[in-house]
Amino acid sequence: MVRGSYRARHMACALVLSVVACVHCDRKPPPAPAAAAANTATVPGEQAEAATPTDLAPAATGAGARFDPAQPSAATLAERTAIEQIGEAAVYSAQAEARLAAALRHPDQDVRGHACWGLGRMAPQTQGQIAALVTALADPIWSVQHNAGWALVRFGQPAVPALDAALRDGGPAVRARAALALLEIAPDYSARCEVALLAVDVTADPQLGGAVLTGLGKLQQPSEAALERLRQAVAGDQAEAALGAIGALGAKAASAAPDVAKALESKSKAVRQRAAATAGSLGTVAPVLLDALVVAVSDKDEHLAAEAAGALSRLDAVDALKRVATTAAVPARALAITAAGTAPQWSAARLALLMTAAADEAWQVRLSAVAAFVGRPESTTAPAKAMLKRALADGNDAVRDQAKAVLAAPPQPPTAGKGSQGSKGAP
């Protein structure tokens, strides 16, 4: 690994609230969203070599010298390496803690950001580390704030009192960062966190704004004001973050169905895909949403089409799936039938749709219908057995082979729940 590559690792697009999966491990925190000048590039995180610092004395920083972040001096590069080594070692000592805390005041953002990472890894954890990290939430650089938030989440409950104080006494950005951490550690702070998050202008700072919108999706009982903020954001530059939050809230955000439907017509491919994935979580069969999903199943974007079909299945919108299966082109019809078969439990209407599709004029649709019965208890019913017997004589080899596979596969007991988790098109 090339030392001094902290910026490349930590200026990739991610949100502080995505850190939960690695809070209890020794991996480096997820990279923070990139700066505006480089927000289109992501660089995978690198795993640094294990290193034990041999000298914890502060590196020379050239007091009084002009600092240029684009052209760091040899002393700054040395400081980056030294701080990185302390973080890699993750061994507590009063001297190491003081060194990292002092590094939070370094003019180089990479040094500060890596100091936050090191403080978060160091064990045992102390109140001194927590205090230093809370101070770093006010850093002007997003990646430093991000790593400070990650580290505080990693500390867990011991960090709550200090975060509570920051939530009460800090400036708007600090309160928002504290709120984001508290939502991960102490969900009972949800109402107070909402107030702090809604005080942020999400359009003024793209990185913080995206994190705030994601944070709103963590609220236990979002207010109408929070839902309105998300609905408004769906139409703006933060649409993906807003849609992700709406999807996380699920049925609590059902009022956003018209906004999600409109997002399915976005010029952005990524936004359309996110909208389709979100739609299936809303628990509402609002006509405007179902109509938009029906259209999306026929989209040329296969990913979007699959997400839309899966959303209809998760919403148990069998009539909408039937509309696709009887009026759309062959690829969309096959996709709708595949999605219909992915539900853990089949209603009578869903079963009837699949049985009808097994006689479709297009072999792709027939194949999707027959494949849906693999391992299903419904495959042992008399109507299904008759359908499978007919499929054994189908004019298409793939359909015949699939019917044999269904008959050979022992049925599995039904699983609890309703809907599907996604779908793929038939071959």
Confidence band for 71, pLDDT divided at 50, 70 and 90? confident
pLDDT of residue 32: 53
Helix axes 127-136 and 94-103, enclosed angle (nearest 10): 10
The mean predicted confidence, pLDDT, of the chain is 84
pLDDT higher at 100 or 46 = 100
Task: Report the share of the chain in percent with pLDDT over 70.
Answer: 80
Task: Report the share of the chain in percent with pLDDT over 90.
Answer: 77
The whole-angstrom separation of Cα 4 and Cα 79 is 9
pLDDT of residue 316: 96
Q: 1-54+73-221 adopts what CATH topology?
A: Leucine-rich Repeat Variant (1.25.10)
Burial (Cβ within 10 Å: 0-12, 13-18, ≥19) of residue 2: exposed
pLDDT at 55 over 90: no
pLDDT of residue 411: 83
DSSP 370-427: HHTTTT-GGGGSHHHHHHHHHHTT-SSHHHHHHHHHHHHSPPPPPPSSSS-S------
* Measured CA angle at 221 (ends 174, 135), to 5 deg: 15
pLDDT of residue 116: 96
Composition of the chain by helix, strand, coil, percent to 5: 60, 0, 35
Q: Kindly state the average pLDDT of the residues 205-212.
A: 93
pLDDT at 83 over 90: yes
pLDDT of residue 362: 97
